[in-house]
Amino acid sequence: MKTNIVTPALRNIKIEDPLFAHYTDMIAEKLLPYQWEVLNDRLPEVEKSYCVRNFRIAAGELEGERLGAVFCDTDAYKWLETLAFCLESGRGREFEATADELIELIGRAQEEDGYLNTYFSVCHPERKWRNLTEGHELYCAGHLVEAAVAYFGATGKKRLLDIAVRFSDLICRIFGQGEGQIKGYAGHQEIELALIKLSRVTGNKAYAEKARYFLDIRGQKPNYLVEELKRTGKDRIFPEFADYDALYAQSYLLPVSQTTAEGHAVRAMYMYSAMADVAREFGDNEMKNACRRLWQNVTEKRMYITGGIGSSGHLERFTADYDLPNDRMYCESCASVGLMMFGQRMAALSGDARYYDIVEKALCNTVLAGISAEGDRYFYVNPLELWPDNCLAGTSMAHVKSVRQSWFGVACCPSNIARTLASLGQYIYAQDEKSVYINQLISSSLETVIKDARVKLRLGSALMDKNRFSLSIEADRPQSFTIRIRIPEYLENPVFVLEGREIAPVIENGYAVVAVSHAGTQTLEVTGRIKPRWMAANTNVRADLGRLALMYGPYVYCLEETDNGKLLSNVFVSADTAVSVGKAVDALPGDLPSLSFEGKRLESGLGDKLYGEPAFSFSSQQFSAVPYALWCNREPGEMLVWLKATV
Ligand SMILES: [Zn+2]
């Protein structure tokens, strides 16, 4: 069944939830100016981006060496995309003139034929399209296109869209199965989903066809990327690509034949997202089935309880089923952003709410944890267990940082989290001809048109403190449509009361379906029960065996040193330990409660001896847990999600 589920425009959505409004406000007010200063290298204590400077050099307006990561043009594109989402939501007007100037600069850096990439234009014009494995040209192009589509949608201004179209037209001419065309594809996927967006906004199907081409040719033998890497060996951009294999960029098989999540986690998520787009665009059931299999493998075998993915610190990649180490994994913020993108597309493809369970898990845990409450510090790597003393440079733990960083040499995550949270509304609401979908129970409002009725929805959620939410539905004329509300599995025994009368809505694909037919305002009240839950992992997850994690609603909780002292690894609890719901911590954003419980500390009885005969003893202690999403926003120190269990 083909669905026509689309996302309403952000301008019609208002976020009101205390936690999420904190982040969306902060992005418009603090993050945009902070990241703009970073992109211009104006903060002396912060790692240099070189991004804007590189565009000036490429435009011939500044002398100097082009510096920074090979793909750092995308910092500017994602900043523009974030701003576009803010503008569409009625925020960030003060940056529009700056953005227009940046867009003009980008335009001046574009070459005559449409080519646009500061690294190759300035440093290696002779190597254009000759190092797809490492060069990230198509990845940068994809982010340009996404920014352009968003900026056009927000402002109606076509300048950036024209730049993106010119470059995309060049890409369409350069790549393909025809004579004289390069029969290659992206070393880092991103162009594929971007071309689908461009196709939708321009109405030009050729872009969608090219997205499909990039997926169809991937995985054909001989492997284009592996063969290319042999040729470019001495010009290596990334030394770690000495360990490159066909799994790394998911080019080991045709995407449609892939069954397990392999290789670099961000690349995988962007490709799967594009596969879901292409499956929908072309009604391709084989592709849809591949997406389902890959989704299942990721979420049932290779995902952390926090929605983090990518178990290997080396090369940021997937490993084996159930291999989920807690302290030395990768769990890149961008990978969880990608998981949200993939889940959203799968839900649009299927009309099934269950995909949003995972979107919520990634959003409410890893994605929020990736950014500080003030918006100026970021985690690239998101551990579930942190002992700051062993996060040492020059070791296998060097990639794990004990505090969020002001910027990175490879800075994909900060702007990726920003654009995701700035467009949060698109993960809350969706609609088709006859239904509005409420996919996240985040307090917000939506104004839209269903059939010919103007409909206003206002969702007021008090789920985490009062275990209930209300929905006011206002239609300006009689019209029959349905509201589909995702009922998450953690909301037990929900009772639905419409206009004071209990109803029993049909539950379809995870949505409670409420029919509306008359004009005026109706109020739906839903009450249920959410309780703190001790969670275990599958027996095959060696890292978590004999351990318990604490969840409340979609939020995973963690212990922090600042509340509980050091050596969290000696804390034991039992699965029937009672948990009290307490007040929110004042120093943290939003109003999520803290949780407290009585646990035990284990002493080995060895004193200063490294090894010896055990003389175990337990002592009781009261512990306080906070949402993992908000960890490291107070005093830095140890952090732990999975506690040892007593049985
Ligand atoms: Zn990243």
Q: Is the pLDDT of residue 305 over 60?
A: yes
Give me 253's structure tokens: 């098989």
Indicate if 338 and 480 belong to the same structural domain.
no
Amino acid in position 428:
I
Indicate if 370 and 465 belong to the same structural domain.
no
Indicate if 415 and 512 belong to the same structural domain.
no
Amino acid in position 348:
A
Q: Is the pLDDT of residue 316 over 70?
A: yes
Amino acid in position 329:
M
Domain that holds residue 455: 432-529
Q: What mean pLDDT value characterizes the chain? A: 96
Three-state DSSP class for 216? helix
123 as an active site residue: the answer is no
- Residue 627 alpha carbon to ligand 1 centre in Å: 22
Residue 283: inside a domain: yes
- Residue 413 alpha carbon to ligand 1 centre in Å: 3
Q: Is the pLDDT of residue 154 over 70?
A: yes
Give me 358's structure tokens: 């995972």
Among the candidates 509, 529, 549, a domain finishes at 529
- Residue 253 alpha carbon to ligand 1 centre in Å: 25
Which is the catalytic residue, given 81, 262, 316, 560?
Answer: 316
Q: Is the pLDDT of residue 243 over 90?
A: no
- Residue 336 alpha carbon to ligand 1 centre in Å: 9
| Interatomic CA distance for residues 296 and 305, integer angstroms | 15
State residue 572 phi and psi, 5-degree precision: -120, 140
Residue 234's pLDDT is: 67
Residue 483: inside a domain: yes
| Interatomic CA distance for residues 212 and 348, integer angstroms | 18
Question: Residue 293: pLDDT band by 50, 70, 90 thresholds?
Answer: very high
- Residue 334 alpha carbon to ligand 1 centre in Å: 4
| Interatomic CA distance for residues 306 and 20, integer angstroms | 18
Q: Are the CB atoms for 642 and 549 separated by under 8 Å?
A: yes
Indicate if 490 and 552 belong to the same structural domain.
no
Indicate if 554 and 513 belong to the same structural domain.
no
Q: Is the pLDDT of residue 3 over 80?
A: no
| Interatomic CA distance for residues 18 and 22, integer angstroms | 6
Which among 413, 419, 311 is positioned nearest to 369, based on CA atoms?
Answer: 413
Indicate if 484 and 566 belong to the same structural domain.
no
Question: Residue 371: pLDDT band by 50, 70, 90 thresholds?
Answer: very high
Question: Residue 240: pLDDT band by 50, 70, 90 thresholds?
Answer: confident
Residue 5: inside a domain: no
- Residue 333 alpha carbon to ligand 1 centre in Å: 6
577-592 per-position pLDDT tens digit? 999 999 999 999 999 9
- Residue 519 alpha carbon to ligand 1 centre in Å: 47
Q: Is the pLDDT of residue 134 over 70?
A: yes
Buried b (16+ CB within 10 A) or exposed e, 603-617: eeeeeeeeeeeeeee
Indicate if 181 and 321 belong to the same structural domain.
yes
Ramachandran assignment for 431, one of left (phi > 0), alpha (psi -120 to 50 degrees), beta (any other): beta
Number of domains in the chain: 3
| Interatomic CA distance for residues 56 and 63, integer angstroms | 9
Indicate if 521 and 538 belong to the same structural domain.
no
CATH number, domain at 498? Answer: 2.60.40.1500
Residue 644's pLDDT is: 98
Indicate if 42 and 136 belong to the same structural domain.
yes
Q: Which residue has the tokens 């029959």?
A: 480
Residue 1's pLDDT is: 54
Indicate if 376 and 331 belong to the same structural domain.
yes
Give me 314's structure tokens: 């080396």
Residue 117: inside a domain: yes
Q: Is the pLDDT of residue 102 over 70?
A: yes
Q: Which residue has the tokens 């959505």?
A: 13
Through-space distance between the first and last CA atoms of the chain, rounded to whole angstroms: 48
Residue 6: inside a domain: no
The residue ranges of DSSP E strands in 8-152, in sequence order, are 13-15
Residue 208: inside a domain: yes
593-645 per-position pLDDT tens digit? 999 999 999 999 999 999 999 999 999 999 999 999 999 999 999 999 999 99
Q: Which residues make Cβ contacts (< 8 Å) with residue 502, sequence separation at least 6? A: 495, 496
- Residue 501 alpha carbon to ligand 1 centre in Å: 48
- Residue 340 alpha carbon to ligand 1 centre in Å: 14
Indicate if 375 and 230 belong to the same structural domain.
yes
| Interatomic CA distance for residues 349 and 354, integer angstroms | 12
| Interatomic CA distance for residues 188 and 133, integer angstroms | 7
- Residue 460 alpha carbon to ligand 1 centre in Å: 33
Residue 2's pLDDT is: 62
Beta pairing partners, 484: 437, 513
Indicate if 151 and 168 belong to the same structural domain.
yes
Near ion ligand 1, which residues have CB within 5 Å?
A: 332, 334, 412-413
- Residue 14 alpha carbon to ligand 1 centre in Å: 27
Residue 647's pLDDT is: 81
Q: Are the CB atoms for 175 and 214 separated by under 8 Å?
A: yes
Residue 645 burial (C-beta neighbours within 10 Å; 0-12, 13-18, 19+): middle
Residue 353: inside a domain: yes
Residue 197: inside a domain: yes
316 as an active site residue: the answer is yes
CATH number, domain at 179? Answer: 1.50.10
Cα 473 to chain centroid distance, Å, stands at 30
Q: What value does the mean pLDDT take over residues 34-62?
A: 97
| Interatomic CA distance for residues 551 and 641, integer angstroms | 10
Which is the catalytic residue, given 334, 391, 412, 632?
Answer: 412
Q: Is the pLDDT of residue 235 over 80?
A: no
Residue 80's pLDDT is: 98
Q: Is the pLDDT of residue 136 over 60?
A: yes
Q: Is the pLDDT of residue 260 over 70?
A: yes
Among the candidates 428, 457, 482, a domain finishes at 428
Q: Which residue has the tokens 């689309």?
A: 6
Among the candidates 513, 529, 545, a domain finishes at 529
Count CB atoms within 10 A of the CB of residue 418.
28
